[in-house]
Amino acid sequence: MMYSNQRIMTNKPAASVQAGSAINVPNRLRNVTNQANQPSFQELLRQQINDHGAADSSLKVSNHAAIRMKQRGIELSDDDMGRLNQAVQQAASKGSKDALVMMDDQAYIVSVKNRTVVTAMDSADLKNHVITQIDSAVIAPRKN
Residue 126: φ, ψ to 5°: -80, -20
Residue stretches of the chain with pLDDT short of 50: 33, 53-55
In terms of pTM, does the model score above 0.85?
no
pLDDT for 61-98, tens place per residue?
999 999 999 999 999 999 999 999 999 999 999 999 99
How far is 46 from 78, CA to CA, in rounded Å? 28
How far is 25 from 40, CA to CA, in rounded Å? 12
How far is 82 from 80, CA to CA, in rounded Å? 5
Where do the structural domains in the chain lie, given as residue ranges? 60-139
How far is 112 from 97, CA to CA, in rounded Å? 5
